[in-house]
Every structure is written in C-alpha cells, then in structure tokens.
Structure 1
Amino acid sequence: MYQIMDELTLQTSLSQPVWAGLIAGAIMGNMKAGLIIGGSLQLTVLGVGTFGGASKIDANSGTVLATAFSIGAGMNPQTAVAAIGVPVASLMIETDILARFTNTYFQHRVDHMIDKLDFKGIERNYLYGVIPWTLSRGIPVFLALAFGGPFVNTAVKYLNTNLSWLNNGLQTAGGLLPAVGFAILLRYLPVKKHIAYLILGFMITALFSTLFTGLQTLGTGLTTVDSKFTTVFNSLPMLAIALIGLAFAILQYKRDIEKDKVAGAAAATKEEVTETSDEVEGEINGDED
C-alpha cells in the first residue's frame, strides 16, 4: 500500500520491486531469495513505463506474493517469478484500472468544491484519493496471503513431482525474464546514437567476468593443493560494473553540457551580429544628406 502511494507522490525509489523483495524477504526470514525475486522482476519491468493514463503490470505486488510463497512453500525463486510473480503482476492491472475509475469520484468532488471556493474540502478530497489507490494493492495481496497458502503448497508439491518438466520450464522462463526487460529498455534508449558505449560496456563486462572467473578457479585450485593458502577470490561484483557505467554516464553528461554551452554561445554571437548589422544599415556615413 505504501509503495503505490510513494510511486504517485514522494517517489523516494522505495516503490521499486527490489525494495519489495528486500522487505518481504526480511520478514519471511530469507532476504537472499527476496532480493533474487525482487531483482528479477525489477529487471523484467526495467524498460516498461506508463504514458498518459496507461496502466502497467504491478511488479511490486507480484514480488511480495512470489517472495512470500517461494520462501513459505520452498519454491525455487526463478520458478516463483514465472509461476506467481508475473501472473500476479499482470492481474493487478485490473485493480489498477479500478483504482483509477474509483478515484474519479473524488476528482469530481474537487471540481464541485472549486466552484464553491471550499479550499478545505479540496484538500480533504485530494487526500482521499489515497484510499482507492492503496486499497487496490492492499486488499488483493492480503486475500492472497491469507487464503492462498494451502493452494500454493499443493501446487508446489505437484510441480516438484508429477510436473517436474513444467517446473524446469518455469525456472528457465524466470531466468529469461530479466533479458526481456533489457530488450524492452534497449528499444527505448538511443542505442544507435551511443552504440559505442553499448559495445564497450558489454566487452568490459565479459572480459572482467572471464578474468575474475579465472582467478577464482586458480585460487580454488591452490587452496586444494596447499591447505595454508587461505586467500579468498571473490567473483566480479556488480557494483564495479555499475561504477563503470556511471563513469561513462558522467562523461556523456559533461559532453552534452559542453555542447549546450557552445550552442548557446554561438546563438548569442549570431544575435549580436544581427543587431549590429541592423544598426549599421540605419546609420548615415560620409557626405550623405
């Protein structure tokens, strides 16, 4: 309920699925699984946006339910993303639309109170708009958590036994969903304009991953040979990749700022030249009468 309110008003970034996974995972006692599910759905909707009054899938509610049932029923996180997270997120579009329609009641009341110059009433009805938005998320999630447990437990047991082939397929689909989110994002980004950065970022990631994997394998081998060798070789942290991307973004930002300054100076110079030429045309030079 707070996340949708934050998304519409404060926008502190707590309205993102990864936060839903973190908090739900902490409550359920398995923060790692919550982060995996939240991160997967975060990447899935990475390139999805709303334009005008359009509704989008509610990845936050999908994350909360997928995390709760995954940890509670012992379901693989990737399976939970594909079997619960995405379907729930898609179904919540309907409650999002219902919240929008219900909210028009308060909007019309505001219109009426504007005519009456009832400023206190305008403020109250503006705040009342929070009610349909938050309930559109809170009620379905509450009902699913309260009454969906037995059904999910039965479904998980059936998936792990009779429908193991479907379970494997759902895990694969859950693993592919973040790639779908990246593909959608690349459709919106100016990839053609910045193709060099895309290629460079991909190659740096691939080379660093290979390098760190090799070092990690070497360290494991040395540990096997010599028990006194206790140095730990960690895999490449995603923070390093993120910082590399941030560095490129800063460089591009500075370059755009310089271009704007040059363009502004050129426009100002052109305007001054135009004004000077206009003044010269109006002057009387020499012996003209």
Structure 2
Amino acid sequence: MIQWWQILLLTLYSAYQILDELTIVSSAGSPVFAGFITGLVMGNMTTGLLIGGSLQLVVLGVGTFGGASRIDATSGAVLATAFSIATGIDPELAISAIAVPVAALLVYTDVLGRFSTTYFAHRIDKHVENFNYKGIERNYLLGALPWALSRALPVFLALALGGPAVQAFADWIKNNAQWLADGLILAGKMLPGVGFAILLRYLPVKKNLAYLGLGFAITAMLTTLYGYVTTLGNGVTALYGIPLVKDLVDKEKLAAFAGSFNGLPMIGIAVIGFALAAISYKNAISRPVAAAAAPSESGEIEDDEL
C-alpha cells in the first residue's frame, strides 16, 4: 500500500523533474535518478536503481534522437518502481507492463503541456512590445505550470487511484497467466539491450571501434577477475563454519577479511570509460577545424552534427 506522504513526495518530484530537464539540466529528470528517488521514498533503492537504470538504457536509444516529444521514461520509472515495491511485482515485469506503456501514453500530456505554454509565450510577446519586464518574468514563471502539471497530474492520479488495479492485475497474472508474466519479464530484460543497440546505430561506432572493443574487453576481464576473487573470499570465509578452523581463527579478523571481497565496482568501469572518452575528445579537437567540419562520407552522425 502506497502511503499518502509517498504519493505527495513522488508527485512533487514528478513536477520538478521536467522543469529540471528543461532549465537546470542537473540530470534530476533522468530515469535512473527517478528510480533512485522513488526507491528512496518507497524504501527499496535496489529495485529503484534497477528499474531506473534499465529505462535509462531504453531511452538512450529511442528518446535521444528525433522529434521534440518523446516517451516519458522518467514518469514511467516513478510509477513502475512505486508499484513494484508496493505490490511486490517483479522489476522486469514492472518495466514491460507498467513503465513502457506509461512512458508512451505520457507523450500526449507532453504535447498538451507544450501547447499550453504558447498562451504564456504570446503574453510575453505583448509585454516585450510594452517593455513590461515584470510581466515578462511573471509569465515566464507561469509557463512552468503546464509543464509541471503534465507530469505531476498523471503520476498523482495513477498512484492515488491505480494501486488496487495494479494489485489486481499482478494477482491475476500470478494465478492465471504465468506464461504472460514470463513473456513480459523477458521483454523487460530485452528492452535495455534494444535501446543500447539503437544508440550504437546512431553513434560513430566504425570510427571509434577500437575504443568500443577495448572497453568491452576491459569490462569482461575485470568482471571475471573480481568474480574469481569474490568466490575465493567467500570460500575462505565459509571455512569458519568448520570446528577446527573456528577455534583457530579470530572472528573479528575473519569478518574484516570477508568484507574486503566485493564485486566489481561500477565506479571503476565509469573511470575507464571517462578516460577513453577524454582521449577521444583530445584527439578530436587536435584535428584541423576544416577537417572536423567536413560532412561524414560514411553516413554516420558526427559529433559536430548533433
């Protein structure tokens, strides 16, 4: 059951996230951030980050290029995370059954929000002619209301009224259509890969194929290495349960030893990716300006053409 204060906080965040995306651009309007905030409010950040991160990969491919209005994966992450935690729905099922449909439907509220702001834009034009600076500022701020309501109102209504319906849907699938749940879970697992594949289709991969291969190889090797090290640490720690070893080992030292074996930290991969990106950027700016501005013969979208 979603509490009233959780609905209030998530509604306020939904109103803010679109304004942040349009003005401040601090990444607070990204799906992964939405998953983090919703998970924090609902009491399960792991599920929030899993859903938010998956939708972030989806939107990288289908929401970065194209027209002005795009799928609202951020609001989808809020609702999918909230209902997944509140009703116990599998995160992958929540992604495919809740997040993706919600993200597609909220395209219409996005368009409505854009149309609504034209009223304030025309009022600003009138105040510009009259040199009414206070009126310009006032209508600029009022123009944020349609944008905020385009996200906050649907999220509020879904959280306030959709809980029983989502719970009934989850119970029905669990009791009558497990095959459908398995299919939706599989689709939810595939969506991040599809989004990332679409993203690679638009990026200049052929020109930077060496960096792509190097990053993949480093990640694979580090994942394998950390996996073996973690297995070794867990195996040595398990010896504590053997009576002879238990009498000879200091419990505190063994606990510290076990805690030193962790999985592959994502910050390490992020640092490697940042280093490769920095090298590529320096190589790009060191080229002659004329060569950098020339159109690509391969048909790929170049950095200066984005």
Identity of counterpart residues, as a percentage?
56
Cα displacement (A) at 1:22: 1.1
Partner AA of 1:112 in structure 2: K
Cα distance in 2 between the residues matched to 1:128 and 1:116? 19
Cα displacement (A) at 1:221: 3.2
- Counterpart of 1:192 in structure 2 is 206
3-state SS of the aligned residue for 1:15? coil
C-alpha contact 1:62 1:89 (8 A) present in aligned 2: yes
Alignment of 1:195-234 (within 5 A): 195-225=209-239, 227=241, 228=249, 231-232=257-258, 233-234=261-262
- Counterpart of 1:58 in structure 2 is 72
3-state SS of the aligned residue for 2:263? coil
Task: Report which stretch shifted further, 25-34 or 92-101.
Answer: 25-34
3-state SS of the aligned residue for 1:131? helix
Partner AA of 2:278 in structure 1: I
Say if 2:49 is the partner of 1:21.
no
Cα displacement (A) at 1:263: 8.5
Task: Report which stretch shifted further, 108-117 or 183-192.
Answer: 108-117
Cα distance in 2 between the residues matched to 1:156 and 1:187? 36
Task: Report which stretch shifted further, 241-250 or 231-240.
Answer: 231-240
Cα distance in 1 between the residues matched to 2:107 and 2:286? 43
Say if 2:272 is the partner of 1:258.
no
Cα distance in 2 between the residues matched to 1:192 and 1:58? 30
- Counterpart of 2:133 in structure 1 is 119
- Counterpart of 2:46 in structure 1 is 32
Alignment of 1:90-105 (within 5 A): 90-105=104-119
3-state SS of the aligned residue for 1:186? helix
Tell me: CA distance 1:112–1:151, structure 2 relative to 1, closer, same or farther (3 Å).
Answer: same
C-alpha contact 1:6 1:15 (8 A) present in aligned 2: yes
Aligned residues: 263
C-alpha contact 1:160 1:167 (8 A) present in aligned 2: yes
Over aligned residues, Cα RMSD in angstroms? 2.1
- Counterpart of 1:181 in structure 2 is 195
Alignment of 1:135-154 (within 5 A): 135-154=149-168
C-alpha contact 1:50 1:56 (8 A) present in aligned 2: no
Tell me: CA distance 1:113–1:14, structure 2 relative to 1, closer, same or farther (3 Å).
Answer: same
Say if 2:302 is the partner of 1:247.
no
C-alpha contact 1:43 1:179 (8 A) present in aligned 2: yes
Deviations 1:51-99 (CA, angstroms, capped at 9, x unpaired): 5x62011111101111111111011111111110111011000000001
C-alpha contact 1:18 1:35 (8 A) present in aligned 2: yes
Say if 2:135 is the partner of 1:87.
no
Cα distance in 2 between the residues matched to 1:254 and 1:189? 18
TM-score, scaled relative to structure 2: 0.80
Deviations 1:144-165 (CA, angstroms, capped at 9, x unpaired): 1110011011111111121111
**Structure 1: gaps spanning 5 or more residues:** 265-289
3-state SS of the aligned residue for 1:55? coil
Cα distance in 1 between the residues matched to 2:123 and 2:65? 26
C-alpha contact 1:114 1:122 (8 A) present in aligned 2: yes
Tell me: CA distance 1:50–1:130, structure 2 relative to 1, closer, same or farther (3 Å).
Answer: farther
Moved over 6 A (4+): 261-264
Partner AA of 1:49 in structure 2: T
3-state SS of the aligned residue for 1:14? coil
3-state SS of the aligned residue for 1:212? helix
Say if 2:55 is the partner of 1:41.
yes
